[in-house]
Structure 1
Amino acid sequence: MSTPVMTPVAVDPFDLPEVLGSGPVTWSSIDALAGGHLVRGVLHASDDRDVDCDLLAVDQAYPAPVASEAVRLLVHQAWRHGQVHLMSYDERLTLLVPGTSFSADLAMDAVGRLAKALGAAPSSFAVHLRLGG
């Protein structure tokens, strides 16, 4: 699995499509969780709009760091306050979370925090995970 190669750009949740905060949304993984630090996925909104949305565990440091120290600090601060840090890598919305890999619980927690950032009830979001390696 490759590491994002572009410089990240901060994303304001208010700049995301309004439909993500106003109806049912499903985040579906394209990749299996399988211990990787990057899980590609897609948000599917109630109006059939898809938004590329990946999960990135920012503490992965080998063979190279996936995030700068400054970004890691922002991610850990946001997480500690019940939020998720949003950035765009290669024009893909990315939810940045502490850690080096993903479990089902961590993926669901990140998507739930995205729902809150959008002003939506977490219960309006569903998570569809791909199994396998």
Structure 2
Amino acid sequence: MPGLPHVAEVDAFDLPEWLGSGEVTWTALSTTRGAYQVSGELSEAGAATSLGCDLLAADHAYPQPVLDETWRRSAHQLWTYGQVLLVEYDGRLTLAVPGTEFTADEVLESLNRLAKAVGVKPSRFVAVLRL
């Protein structure tokens, strides 16, 4: 689709090792309430290490779809199996999830699935939401 950002799949094994070795905080840099795209950042506890990590509601379609049909289908398929689609979206790590906007519960479930993808207990992840 013309005008869509570059999208490429990301393998969880290619993510920084610190995501699976200690406590990680995901901080929302934009509001989560009703947003279809939430800017965020993952950071390692006690270190200056960070990684941009956004959330994207894969079904958002107005005024233009955010993902093409192939990526949307992948997001739904992975979600059905308890996983989350990890992509590079416009140059940033992004969790693409089914839906058109986010609630606090959906943000937490997305991060839960990211923890699962990197092989750690979800309790090692902390979420900081912005109202």
Unaligned runs of at least 5 residues, structure 1: none
Q: Secondary structure at the match of 1:75?
A: helix
Counterpart-to-counterpart distance in 2, 1:34 and 1:83 = 23
Matched, 1:94 2:124: no
Question: What is the aligned length?
Answer: 128
**Post-superposition CA distance 1:25-82 (Å, at most 9, x none):** 0000000112111000000113331100000001011111111110000000000000
Task: Name segments (4+ residues, structure 1) moved above 4 Å.
Answer: none
Counterpart-to-counterpart distance in 2, 1:49 and 1:90 = 21
Alignment RMSD (CA, Å): 1.2
Once the two structures are superposed, the pairs formed by residues 54-69 of structure 1 within 5 Å of their partners are 54-69=54-69
Q: TM-score scaled to structure 2, two decimals?
A: 0.94
Residue 29 of structure 1 is matched in structure 2 by 28
Q: Secondary structure at the match of 1:56?
A: strand
Unaligned runs of at least 5 residues, structure 2: none
CA drift of 1:91 comes to 2.0
Question: Does structure 1 retain, via aligned residues, the 8 Å contact 2:33–2:104?
Answer: no
Q: Secondary structure at the match of 2:30?
A: strand
Q: TM-score scaled to structure 1, two decimals?
A: 0.93
Residue 122 of structure 2 is matched in structure 1 by 122
